[in-house]
């Protein structure tokens, strides 16, 4: 089976990062989405301090796009990011440091909630979505980056992939599952549990075929 795209999430340590680099160089997937999981949405560190530089030096140059959240882009750049303009400047800094493209996931921006920013060498474009008030958002970033990798594998441009994935993850958040005592997960299969599931899939397919994104 030919692998059309790869995606990584939490890597935790330098040894894991080095192993991922070896695998990417050996198998060279056409697309690689790097979700630099360093800080959780609740603010907890998920990457060893000595591994941050390895992430930047070893994996950034191999990635089609990196998808940090606001906390992670702040940790990577040393900048405060609360506005779209600040997200753009932080993204440009990461481009100068070796990234090919950056999606700043803006769920925690103060200026405009639920607005992400795609930053490439051609410029920056905001990808806006609906803000959904819920605590059941566990796995949102992982879902988003995996969806982007999937759309790239299907032949979409990076901007198309981000927009389609934004629409998908918004509905996955809307269908978030109240499991356990903390933040529940997003529902990857929300469309199987909704009365309008067939209509939602039809609308998504229509938008995609018409190039409405």
Catalytic residues, which ones? 105, 137, 139-142
- Would you state the structure tokens that stand for residue 173, as one six-digit string? 């958040």
| SS3 assignment, position 79 | coil
CA dist., res. 143 & res. 157, Å (int): 18
Q: E strands of the chain, at which residues? A: 6-8, 32-34, 65-66, 102-104, 115-120, 123-128
Nearest to 100 by CA among 53, 37, 158: 158
What is the 3 state secondary structure string of 148-207?
Answer: HHHHHHCCCCHHHHHHHHHHHHHHHHHCCCCCCCCCCECCCCHHHCCCCHHHHHHHHHHH
**Chain centroid offset of residue 97 CA:** 19
CA dist., res. 4 & res. 149, Å (int): 9
């Amino acid at each position: 089976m030919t692998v059309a795209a790869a995606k990584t999430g939490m890597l935790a340590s330098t040894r894991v990062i080095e192993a991922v680099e070896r695998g990417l160089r050996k198998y060279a997937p056409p697309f690689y989405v790097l979700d630099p999981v360093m800080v959780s949405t609740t603010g907890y560190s998920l990457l060893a301090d000595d591994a941050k530089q390895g992430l930047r030096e070893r994996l950034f140059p191999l990635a089609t796009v990196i998808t940090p959240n606001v906390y992670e882009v702040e940790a990577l750049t040393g900048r405060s990011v609360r506005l779209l303009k600040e997200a753009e400047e932080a993204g440009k800094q990461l481009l100068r440091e070796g990234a090919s493209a950056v999606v700043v996931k803006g769920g925690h921006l103060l200026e405009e909630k639920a607005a992400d920013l795609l930053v490439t060498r051609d410029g920056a474009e905001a990808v806006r979505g609906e803000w959904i008030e819920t605590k059941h958002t566990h796995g949102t970033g992982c879902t988003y980056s995996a969806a982007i990798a999937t759309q790239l594998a299907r032949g979409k441009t990076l901007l198309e992939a981000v927009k389609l994935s934004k629409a998908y993850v918004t509905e996955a958040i809307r269908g978030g599952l109240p499991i356990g005592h903390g933040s529940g997960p997003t529902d990857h299969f929300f469309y199987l549990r909704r009365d309008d599931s067939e209509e939602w899939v039809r609308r998504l397919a229509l938008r995609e075929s018409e190039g409405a994104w």
